[in-house]
Chain A
């Protein structure tokens, strides 16, 4: 397995950390989710191309379809939060207090 995978896996881990650690905007967490999907796409594509796994070449496109679904859903939630509170700050999401 080539060492390019180390870098792509590191990119996935970095955006995963960025997704879990909130700052002020919800939108930046959604961008980190998109970054995770991009790094998964690149990793899958490089694996398929390097191993000549021809029939699996359709799976990155399927991954992109489901990533688009999830991005659209996340954005619709962000739009509803923004229309309720005015901004998309995560400190506004305080209805659930344990």
Chain B
């Protein structure tokens, strides 16, 4: 149970390989939904319940639904599955092998230390450093609630950029 975050992150990478090997977009969208759910699980393991809800509601329920019906609009008669095309299958196996090698290297020793640009070690994996008393409130929910007090300018900028985005999309899809 202490390794649950690591197992979830391995399944996360495997599902990323599933859509990065580029089968037909409808299957890629399906695997992206699964990887969104696994990512929500990783966030929940660290105690971020509101941000996990964000992933499901906004990311899966908003953005991927739009991708789903756009894909349904522009799809082909015989969509490609991972086993029906050698290129897709080869890419999937290569990705799977690289993830397996990484996972085996990480799990090999108890005190493994990987240094790529930063120093990763397995010591802080299942322990979140506790900074003391946070009362009855969830810190993360309080931080997000600060969006409306400290982050007022952020809200104005993002709202304005969404509005401009809608206008840009209307101009792009006007055609002629």
Contact = CB atoms under 8 A, between A and B. Distances in A.
Is A bound to B? Answer: yes
Interface of A: 1-8, 10-11, 14-15, 17-18, 21, 23, 25, 27-28, 30-32, 34-35, 38-39, 41-42, 45-46, 48-58, 60-62, 64-69, 71-73, 75-80, 82-83, 87-88
Q: Is the interface of A mostly helix, strand, loop or mixed?
A: helix
Given A2-B125, A18-B21, A45-B43, A80 B9 contact: no
Interface of B: 5-6, 9-10, 12-13, 16-17, 19-25, 28-29, 32, 35-36, 39, 42-43, 46-48, 51, 54-55, 58-59, 62-64, 66-67, 70-71, 73-74, 76, 87-88, 95, 98-99, 102-103, 106, 112, 114, 118-125, 128-129, 131, 139-140, 142-144, 146-147, 150-151, 154, 158, 161-162, 165, 168-169, 172-173, 175
B119 A30 contact: no
Given A27-B25, A28-B19, A31-B25, A46 B43 contact: yes
Contact of A42 (B42, B64, B103): B42
Given A14-B13, A39-B16, A72 B165 contact: yes
